[in-house]
Amino acid sequence: MLSMTGFGVNKSKLTQGEVVVQVKTVNSRFLDLKINIPREYSLWEKDIREILKKNLSRGTVEVYCARKIKASKTKININSDVQLGRKWLKAYNKLNKELKLTKQNPVQLVDIVNSVPVITVGEDKEVNANEKKEFFKCLNFAIAGCLKERKREGLALKKSFNFALTELGKELNNIGKNRKKANDEILKRWKEKMNRFRDEKKLDSTRLAQEASVLIEKSDINEEIIRLKEHISNCRSLLTKKGRIGKKLEFYSQELLREVNTIGSKSQIVELTSSVVNAKTIIEQIREQVQNIE
């Protein structure tokens, strides 16, 4: 069982510096990839996404990469745009002629340089095959570290989940013990209601018995108890399996709450209501935990 919360980081030395890769994951209903990499690595984004999808199925995944190149290892490129300079000079001469400013001082090179970017200075950050290899090695190690963290937290979640199911089972036992008392209370109230009409009109005893039976059947919580036991059993079974179980556990947590709510709507005694409140509190804790299970 894996949590959706994890973090992994790895770095690798390069000839001209180093590369650092971080992978962070948090809970989400689906797989949401957020990739922040240097511009020089942008062509690899598709490959990065494929690797992430192979290792992670749910959660918001943030990948951050820092490429640190030593200044002494950086090559400086100075480029001149001759064509742009010619176009500027041509336009200048045309304007000079149109305005009849031929007696003005002739244009100097510095005038062109200050007006348009005919000379540019940049760093050569070419990525070689070895750097690409080191980056993907870092990425895979960072993912492995993140998965290790998710597994560690998943074990803690599993322990907490099992404890919650045990506590829910105790409340379910209490509900089962109070079931007969709840049914007796329903029958008692029904009889009191019928007694109020006994002197006013003649009542058919057979029909009354049938109505009482139907009333008890509608108000009985035996079916809900049976389904709750099945859901708890299925949850425990899922916790022993490998793979992605988060969505299934989320479904069962919803069903657990549905059955307990039904019991609450049928509740006629304080003891039953108290157990329902306790059970709902436990199930809400389970639902919170489920949100972080892959």
In this prediction, residues 217-242 reach a mean pLDDT of 87
pLDDT-derived band at 1, boundaries 50, 70, 90:
confident
The label of the residue with tokens 């013990």 reads 177
Residue-level pLDDT at 110: 67
Q: 158-192, pLDDT tens digit by residue?
A: 999 999 999 999 999 998 888 777 777 766 666 66
Kindly state whether residues 31 and 80 are assigned to the same domain: no
Kindly state whether residues 47 and 116 are assigned to the same domain: no
Ramachandran sector of residue 30 (left: φ over 0; alpha: ψ -120 to 50; beta: rest)? beta
Residue-level pLDDT at 176: 86
Kindly state whether residues 108 and 30 are assigned to the same domain: no
In this prediction, residues 80-109 reach a mean pLDDT of 71
Structural domain of 242:
154-290
Is residue 1 a part of any domain in this protein?
A: no
Residues in Cβ contact with 191 at an 8 Å cutoff, skipping those fewer than 6 apart: 212
d(CA 210, CA 292) in angstroms, rounded, equals 50
**Number of domains the chain is built from:** 3
Residue 232's alpha-carbon distances to 141, 171, 184, 294, in angstroms, are 37, 12, 28, 19
Kindly state whether residues 35 and 108 are assigned to the same domain: no
The label of the residue with tokens 């988060």 reads 246
Whether the pTM exceeds 0.85: the reply is no
Kindly state whether residues 119 and 163 are assigned to the same domain: no
